[in-house]
Structures are given as structure tokens and as C-alpha cells.
Amino acid sequence: MKFGIVRGRVTLSRVDESIADTRFLIVEPVTAQNLAEGNGKGGGRELIAADQLGPRMGQMVGFVEGREGASPWHPRRAPIDAYISFIVEGVDYHPPTRKGK
């Protein structure tokens, strides 16, 4: 599970029937440093994620990648590699401090 920020949406001209009612969004993963700073920046490399929740542009979401991304379609097979699984309401993150600092 990772955090990401919705940066855009994808429009498809053709789509596999198994995912015909699914939106696809561009998500920028949030780095631990940006999460700790709470600056609203992502910092990771953007990816395309399937969405059924409807987050707004600029909103933080949680997503999974790999075969877990296709789990909502189980037992059917779906050509999905990333899935938005929740919309973040708020984050209270305090990175661990290292000994001696």
C-alpha cells in the first residue's frame, strides 16, 4: 500500500470488456520525505491506477500495485496493475528519529 496524489485522468478510446465501467487516473506516489513535510507534493514517478471511488484532482489516495491491484475483479481476470483502494482524509506522520540525532 502506498500514498499518492491524483494528478489527472485517462480517457480510453477502446477498453477490455472486463473493466468497461472503470475510471483510470494518473497518480503521483508520495515520498516519505514529502509525507513528513506535509507539503502536498508527491515526488514519485506517476502511474495509471484503476479507480471506482471518485477522488478529486489533487486529492491524496491509497493504492496497491501488482496482482493485488486486480483483486476487486476476483475471480475474473482483469488487466489492472494498480488500484485506488481508499481516499485519504488526513495524515499524521512522524518519521522515526535515529539514535544519536
Instruction: Write the CATH number for 72.
Output: 2.40.50.220
Contact present, 5 and 25 (Cβ < 8 Å): no
CA distance 77 to 51: 16
Q: Is residue 95 part of a domain?
A: no
Domain count, the chain: 1
Whole-prediction pTM: 0.82
- Residue with grid cell 502506498, as numbered in its chain: 2
Instruction: pLDDT tens for the chain, 101 residues: list them.
Output: 899 999 999 988 887 777 778 899 999 999 988 988 888 899 999 999 999 899 999 999 999 987 776 666 566 666 678 999 999 998 888 877 777 65
Nearest to 28 by CA among 12, 48, 53, 10: 48
Q: Is residue 32 part of a domain?
A: yes
Q: Is residue 94 part of a domain?
A: no
For 73, half-sphere exposure in the C-beta direction (CA atoms, 13 angstrom radius) is 22
pLDDT of residue 71: 66
Domain ranges, residue 38: 2-10+21-87
Q: Is residue 100 part of a domain?
A: no
Contact present, 52 and 24 (Cβ < 8 Å): no
Q: Is residue 82 part of a domain?
A: yes
pLDDT of residue 40: 85
pLDDT of residue 44: 92
